[in-house]
Amino acid sequence: MPKQIPCLWFDGRAEEAAQLYTSVFPNSSIGEITRYGPDMPPPMAEGDVLTVSFTLDGQEYVGLNGGPQFTFTEAISFQIMCTDQEEVDHYWDRLTEGGGEEGPCGWLKDKFGVSWQVVPIEMMSLLSDPDPGRAQRATQAMLQMHRIDIAEIRRAADSVSV
């Protein structure tokens, strides 16, 4: 299968987004930056950033400053699979700071409007537990949350109704 590189369409903030993302994710870097040249159509001016390549922990991306006609929606999101609550808190705090929005069930939008799902791996195991009652209690707890609290989901899964 050919290599796939997500391209994210920004309205003039691609380099700023790449700087944020590479500061949040480990083993990340900004690569090549291309600029608008002379006689290129709006929305940007000559010398402004056209594209910025960046890598987040081994996954390549391209940010494109294409203008205001397209915006991000929750129809596309990036899942961050976290090993523990510390990772959940790190990604949640960093991606919501400066104007991000919290959403339900571990979803958030960063200040650029990009949607992320901050997902503890243990939560996925609890939601698909072979014991249907345990899975249901975990799911009900998760549905009440914005930022996922894995200890609370674990407590809910392990609780027994009398």
User: 79 and 24 share a domain?
Assistant: no
- Single out the residue in 68, 89, 122 at which a domain terminates: 68
User: 63 and 107 share a domain?
Assistant: no
- Single out the residue in 16, 38, 68 at which a domain terminates: 68
Range of the domain at 32: 1-68
Q: What CATH number has the domain bearing residue 44?
A: 3.10.180.10
pLDDT tens across the length of the chain (162 residues): 999 999 999 999 999 999 999 999 999 999 999 999 998 877 678 999 999 999 999 999 999 999 999 999 999 999 999 999 999 999 999 999 999 999 999 999 999 999 999 999 999 999 999 999 999 999 999 999 999 999 999 999 999 764
Report the side by side order of strands in the sheet with 107-109. 77-82, 115-120, 107-109, 101-102
User: 159 and 80 share a domain?
Assistant: yes
- Single out the residue in 68, 98, 114 at which a domain terminates: 68
